[in-house]
Structure 1
Amino acid sequence: MAKHLLCVTIDTDPDGLNTHDPDRRNLNWEGLHFAMQHFHEALPHIPLTWYVRADGQLEHAYGSVRYLLEEHHNFWQKAIQRGDELGWHPHLYTVPQGDKQPTIITDSAQAVAELTRIWEGLQGVDLPLPTFRMGEAWHTPETLNLLEKLGFSVDSTAIPGRDDSASEHPRNWAGAPNQPYYPAQKNVREAGDVRLLLEVPMNSWYFQA
């Protein structure tokens, strides 16, 4: 009998952020609070990976990229003690203007600069963040290569087969392996030579409707 290993991961996103019609201005956290109150009880023997938001949107709204890490510091410490893992989960958005929705910073150079800036703001946090997942599930070769330079050994952003480029969203994982792989230096969707950073995809399956 084949043995399958599962990773249970949780993105600590605010309510209303979905892949079909995301409300990027929403900063209500009822879903996160529910998960923090009940998931350990429901899954007592299963370690979880919590991908914790830390980005410019939280800095703009709450004054610090560390907001969720500091606001729930005791919970994160206890989670780590039970065997859970934390990861960094930034959403790279422009600052909202008026009633307009924030937009994704898709320019690769700007994205690298923003990730670097946020990472500098996370220095000194006494909680380990060994893995990474990009908000809204996209990457460029430059953003992924930056993570490797920053010391991340695992990225878990890819959704193999998902391609939203027709809607001008940067999320495009068409052809990406549906298993862990070392990303090619110039194409995040292709397996390349062994490197320090491993891509662990959010696996996808085809079902007949």
Structure 2
Amino acid sequence: MNKDLFVAVTFDTDSDIFEGADVASNPFSPLPWKGISDGIPLLYEHTHSIVDSYGSPLIFTWLVRADNQIKRIHDSSTFLLEEYNHIWKFAIHRGDEIGWHPHLYKLDDNLWVQETCDATNTRILMSTFEDLKKIDTLPISARVGETYCSNAIIDTFEKLGVMCDSSAMPGRSRKFKGGGVSWINAPSRPYTPSYTDYSKPCSQSRSILEVPLSMVPIKAPYDEDFYQRYVDLTFYHKFLENGLKKLVKESDLIVTISHPNTLLKRKLLRHGLLSFDIKEFIKNLNVIISECNKNGRNFRFISLKNCCHLFKNYVNS
């Protein structure tokens, strides 16, 4: 395979609470965001000299939380976009993309849990989008929290002008109270999602493209066997190296997903798979670069929105 490899390095800007949405004893306690305030500048500091085969700098897609939970806790669904406006301005200036990362939650027994009602999720997305418009933010790309999805969500994104969704985790499924999400049959390449099954391609023309996360088999220390996981460049290098090498040889596109807070050291937190170390991020990125050079492949750094024109013409072939 000699054609260019496209590499989209994406970040979901979730809070610093590692365990998930339901850990706070008070569901309305302000969430910590050092991943944004400290992690993003640290990333820029360590990657400013990295370029692709054409001399273009490494760019990122920042999928920023804006949703009903953020509004309930911080009094504004666009809190992160406004509070850290200086970071997003710098990101845009250097060529990064600012996308949308809504977590569609509801309160259940004082815990934030996944909302599975289509009508409610549609209302959340529509209401939040109105708030985004008020601050002149019209996202082209999105990824739903927990990689949740439904036909209604894809339809709503399309109506709102979102042209790229990147929630798909091919081969995986998740169950939630009252419903679930299945990407079991999703392709690994970008595709136009079916009107009747978001995880399958269709031949009809749509303005929205599904761009799946890259998946590789990983056996973490706490696993009994290998398990398909998305490519998170903050995973320990030793678990990701072989999967990355295979992707470089076989893929047209690599879409990675990380979180800014996992770039930062945690003194009291140890994890078998997540490194919480910017050095591991760089090691994994360098595997992609060195393998491309080794295999004679040029590579281009892109943002998610670039996929709309790069892959639209042959996604369902």
TM-score by length of 2: 0.60
Q: 2:20 maps to which residue?
A: 22
Instruction: Letter of the 2:211 partner, please give it.
Output: V
Amino acid at match of 1:136: E
Residue 90 in structure 1 maps to residue 102 in structure 2 = yes
Q: Which structure: larger Rg?
A: 2
Q: Could you say what secondary structure the match of 2:167 adopts?
A: coil
Contact 1:152 1:197 in 2 (8 A): yes
SS in 2 for 1:117: helix
Give the letter for the 1:7 counterpart: A
Aligned pairs, number: 204
The answer to whether the 8 Å contact 1:86/1:128 transfers is no
Rounded Cα–Cα distance in structure 1 between residues aligned with 2:22 and 2:41? 24
Q: Quick one: distance in 2 between partners of 1:169 and 1:119?
A: 24
Are 2:114 and 2:176, in contact at CA under 8 Å, matched by a contact in 1?
A: no
Partner Cα separation in structure 2 for residue 201 and residue 43 of structure 1? 25
Partner of 1:140: 150
Alpha-carbon distance, 1:41 to partner: 1.8
Deviations 1:11-30 (A, max 9, x none): 0001234xxx5243552222
The SS at the match of 2:180 is coil
1:95, 1:117 → 2: CA distance? 18
Name 1:7's counterpart in structure 2.
Answer: 8
Give 1:127 deviation, angstroms: 4.0
- Alignment-mate amino acid for residue 187 of structure 1: D
1:106-185 residue pairs with structure 2 within 5 A? 106-165=116-175, 170-185=180-195
**CA–CA separation in structure 1 for the residues paired with 2:107 and 2:71:** 10
**Aligned counterparts of 1:23 and 1:110: Cα–Cα separation in 2:** 19
CA RMSD across the alignment: 2.0
CA deviation profile, 1:148-171 (whole Å, cap 9, x unmatched)? 011111111111111123886623
Equivalent-residue separation in structure 2 for 1:188 and 1:84 (angstroms): 27
On the 8 A contact 2:192/2:201 being kept in 1, the answer is yes
CA separation in 1, counterparts of 2:197 and 2:47?
A: 37
Kept after mapping to 1: 8 A contact 2:132/2:138: no
CA distance in 2, matches of 1:65, 1:134: 15
> What amino acid is aligned across from residue 143 of structure 1 in structure 2?
I
Give the alignment partner of residue 88 of structure 2, picking from 76, 79, 103: 76
Identity %: 33
SS at match of 1:206: strand
Instruction: Summarize deviations over 1:108-143 as a string: whole Å, max 9, x none.
Output: 111111111111121122344211110110111011
Residue 64, structure 1, aligned to residue 76, structure 2? yes
Provide closer, same or farther for how the CA distance between residues 101 and 81 of structure 1 changes in structure 2, counting only shifts above 3 A. same
Which protein is richer in helix relative to its size?
Answer: 2
Deviations 1:48-82 (A, max 9, x none): 00000011111111110010000011110110010
**TM-score, reference length from structure 1:** 0.89
Contact 1:136/1:171 (<8 A) preserved: no
Distance 1:139 1:22 in 2: 18
Q: Higher strand fraction: Structure 1 or Structure 2? A: 2
Q: Residue 161 of structure 1 contacts residue 175 of structure 1 at CA under 8 Å; is this kept in 2?
A: yes
Larger relative contact order (CA 8 Å, sep ≥ 6): 2
> Matched residue of 2:35: which SS?
helix
User: 2:163 is matched by which residue type in structure 1?
Assistant: S
Pick the aligned partner of 2:113 from 84, 103, 112.
103
Taking the aligned partners of 2:39 and 2:136, their CA distance within structure 1 comes to 22
Name 2:37's counterpart in structure 1: 33
**Within 1, Cα distance between the matches of 2:32 and 2:136?**
26
The answer to whether the 8 Å contact 1:60/1:95 transfers is no
Distance 1:52 1:67 in 2: 10
